[in-house]
Chain A
Amino acid sequence: MKTVIVACGSGVATSQTVASKVKKILNENGVKANVEAVDIKSLDQYIKTSHVYIAITKAKKEYDIPTLNGIAFLTGMGMKEETEKLISLLKS
């Protein structure tokens, strides 16, 4: 199973909000994946073992795995596009 990580300042609040939401959306679409909220302070460690990174910040550096826009899941704007991208990444 593929792993999706969402990072925020503490790995507790915002990241978990997005993670719960993404998990729910994936369930509704019948896509199985691990969705985990992680602490941005230890992001580099988590990137190594994950397949997709959902960022709540505008990332300055490039990561080795595809990065999606997590703000979309918080505001609802552009959420459909990000969801489609995520699903196609997980199915590939």
Chain B
Amino acid sequence: MDLLQQIFQYVLDLGAAVFVPLLMFIVGIAAKMKWKEAFSAAVILGVAFIGMNIVIGFMLNALTPAAQGLVERTGIELNIIDGGWTSLATLAWAWPLAFLMFPLQMAVNAVMLIINKTQTLNVDLWNVWGKILTAVLVIGVSGNVVLAFLVAAFQMVIELLLGDVNQKQIEKITGIPGVTVSHSMMIFGAFLLPFNWLISKVPFLDKHVDADTLKERIGIFAENHVMGFIIGLLLGIVAGYSVQATLTLAVQAATALTLFPMVAKLFMQALSPLSEAVSDFMRKKFQNRQLFIGLDWPILAGSNEVWVAMIILVPITLIYAIILPGNNVLPFAGIINTSLAVPALIITGGNLLRMILLGIVTTPIFLYIATGFAPTITQLARDTNAVNIADGQLLSWSTLEYPVFRYIFADASSGSILGIFFGAVWIVLLVVYYRMMKKRTEALKKEEEVA
């Protein structure tokens, strides 16, 4: 037993960039991949880890001095650097038990289908990382592995249920029948619900705004390198840098934002044979049933409302970051708030003004929770050796997906009475959201019949 533990510890000590590929290779062979393919995928996975580590390190080293300049000059302390979702995905995949999320998701989906509690078949296996991240955060807060898996399983159930009730609205927006979005980011809809209800009482917000023309005009700001350059420039100016240093920082920031998705793509390349095999297997098992195929959120990316809302929220997020007392996050790689815009698109049925208003109301929540999770996230990076973070540097994600759910349930898992109480409140909100979307589905169906 001791020997086994020693071997285990030895492998873990190799660091995520070595042991996760090793694990991936074993899983690949077990899933009947060819040796050649499994080996190639495993090495690419290692490259993804090292690559992300380089880019995150580059970003931290470029931005941290500027953040220090900011605090010295103005007293505004934004010492937590926002690494965006790609940084957090790196941490998630570095968890030694991450791969267990695949069979868990298959089992949860199969059971839910067999007992007829859902019609959604989630074939988006890539986003198991969202459940892995939830589990990792639960462990970071409570240290409880069993509860981490339970919360992750609960999240899987919710995303299937939301896949069911959101389907008609998604079909209405995209024009694509038979598919839904089973991405967990829809969970944020439960939290948006009361605000959306309030906003829907305001009459003049029902105006239709032409998002398509707006997107043509301001779309350039959403391009990674442009966004990075502008944020770097602003940061250099407020940090009191010289012109030369400011321009250098701007190009460095543009570099970081351009490289993040390029490198993160390697994770997908490595994992795609495996996730492909799993989703094929699931589809075959349930091919005789009429189901909604659950996909990732970008099937909604054709809605220009999403892009316009996200771009308009960028300066608002930056202003909040500076003026909110108690916020320490410097919004950067995660500043494009998909986590808000996509559920807001669904709950408002594509009303741009309401989406923006929901963003203005809830952005502080994103920043506060990102601040709250920063020590946990930084510690996780150190524990797994996935990302090297120097002393005095802090990492987070300014627009963490479904922040409220994650914060409440991580807190509740540590036995906090407040966490359990808010967990209960949150479940009530979810039930109300579910019923509301069910009603909306009926209404949309009637509309279709009339037309």
Contact = CB atoms under 8 A, between A and B. Distances in A.
Nearest to B121: A75
A71 B301 CA distance: 13
A9 B178 contact: no
B261 A39 contact: yes
Contacts of B124: 14
A12 B127 CA distance: 12
A12 B219 contact: no
Given A20-B276, A40-B301, A57-B302, A13 B174 contact: no
Interface in A30-72: 37, 39-42, 55-60, 71
Contacts of A10: 85, 261, 264, 298
A74 B123 CA distance: 8
Contacts of B175: 58
A80 interface: no
Nearest to B216: A61
A9 B297 contact: yes
B224 interface: yes
Nearest to B311: A41
A13 B302 contact: no
B223 A57 contact: no
A75 B272 contact: no
B251 interface: no
Q: How large is the interface on A (under 10, 10 to 19, 20 to 34, 35 or more residues)?
A: 20 to 34
B295 interface: yes
A37 B272 CA distance: 13
B191 interface: no
| Interface of A: prevailing SS | mixed
Contact of A56 (B268, B299, B303, B304): B299
Contacts of A12: 86, 261, 264-265, 267-268
A74 B295 contact: yes
Given A41-B223, A75-B179, A11 B295 contact: no
Nearest to B306: A9
Contacts of B298: 8-10, 13-15, 40, 56-57
B378 interface: no
- State the majority secondary structure of interface residues on B: helix
A14 B293 CA distance: 14
A39 B336 CA distance: 13
Contacts of B297: 9
Contact of B224 (A15, A42, A58, A76): A42
Contacts of A9: 297-298, 301, 338
- Centre residue among A13, A58, A75 by max chain B CB count within 10 A: A13
B268 A8 contact: no
B276 A57 contact: no
A42 B258 CA distance: 11
A76 B282 CA distance: 12
Contact of B302 (A16, A20, A59, A74): A59
Residue with the highest number of chain A CB atoms closer than 10 Å, among B174, B175, B261, B307: B261
Contacts of B26: none
Interface string B140-160: 000000000000000000000
A37 B265 contact: yes
B126 interface: yes
Interface string B209-230: 0001000000100111000000
A8 B276 CA distance: 18
B296 interface: yes
B276 A21 contact: yes
B392 to A, nearest CB: 30
Interface in B225-277: 261, 264-265, 267-269, 272-273, 275-276
B216 to A, nearest CB: 9
A58 B303 CA distance: 9
Contacts of B299: 14, 56-57, 71
B176 A58 contact: yes
Contacts of A13: 126-127, 268, 296, 298
Interface of B: 85-86, 123-124, 126-127, 174-176, 178-179, 212, 219, 222-224, 261, 264-265, 267-269, 272-273, 275-276, 283, 293, 295-304, 307, 338
Question: Nearest 8 pairs between A and B by C-beta?
Answer: A57-B302, A8-B298, A16-B268, A9-B298, A20-B272, A75-B293, A41-B222, A14-B296
Given A14-B126, A14-B295, 18 more contacts: A8-B298, A10-B261, A10-B264, A11-B261, A12-B267, A13-B268, A13-B296, A14-B298, A17-B272, A21-B272, A37-B265, A37-B268, A40-B301, A41-B219, A56-B301, A58-B174, A74-B123, A77-B178
Interface of A: 8-17, 20-21, 37, 39-42, 55-60, 71, 74-77
